[in-house]
Amino acid sequence: MLLSLAKFLSVYYIACLIQLFFVFGGMLVFVARLNPWPFFKGMWDAITVAFGTCSSSATLPVSMQCVQEHLGVSKNISSFVMPLGSTINMAGAAIFQGMAAILISNAYGIHLDFMTLITVVITAVLSAVGAAGIPGSGILMLSAVLSSAGLPLEGVGVLFGIDRVREMISAVVNSMGDAVVAVTIAKQEGELDELQYYEAELAELEESEA
């Protein structure tokens, strides 16, 4: 069981990194038409706070400060998008609940057909929307996903031991998702100061040339 949990945690971290760099990075490149590297550098303070607190709600003030002061997002956009996203944009929790349902079904030897998997995906997304941005909320909402798939609720207890470590990267994904949306909307609405967004990168370029 410990080996299975270690594999689950490793795959979950890989899935979250894919979400961060390929999905969120892709949004910045193809939708916002921005270089994603300054984004991750500008959000570093928020990333460390989210990783340490395991809470996107606790990270919210730092995230708002980062998008305004480091990325050039206007206060009008950030003050609306970021608080709203911290309550309904829980990509990290949705990934966890879908993966947890698969893990528990395998542990109990229960086969999930295609329609049941679709139900799991829909329920995971909806339950993630309703989850609070605090530690422990994701695993509490997991019971709704397991019930929709006809899986035993006792399986939740299997994941309690690794949930704190799992939530560290989950909170980062949740917080970065809010910030990406804020930057994208600000760019589309003309509320993004691109000089400020690229300020750190331009400063490094000037120092290297000097």
Tell the burial category of 204 from Cβ atoms under 10 Å away from its Cβ (0-12, 13-18, 19+): exposed
Render 57-108 in DSSP notation, one character per residue.
Answer: HHHHHHHHHHHHHTS-B-HHHHHHHHHHHHHH--HHHHHHHHHHHHHHHHHT
Mean pLDDT over each residue of the chain, to the nearest integer: 87
> Is the pLDDT assigned to residue 208 strictly greater than 70?
no
pLDDT digits (tens, 9 = 90+) for 187-198: 999 999 998 998
Q: Which of 129-138, 150-159, 173-182 has the highest mean pLDDT?
A: 173-182
Q: Is 147 left (phi over 0), alpha (psi -120 to 50) or beta?
A: alpha
Say whether pTM exceeds 0.85.
yes
| Most confident among 91-100, 133-142, 174-183 (mean pLDDT) | 174-183
pLDDT at 32 > cutoff 90: yes
Q: What is the CATH number of domain 2-193?
A: 1.10.3860.10
Report the range of poorest mean pLDDT among 56-70, 82-96, 164-178, 186-200: 82-96
Distance CA 65, CA 104 (A): 39
User: Would you say residue 35 has pLDDT above 60?
Assistant: yes
User: In the Cβ-directed half-sphere of 131, how many Cα atoms lie within 13 Å?
Assistant: 33
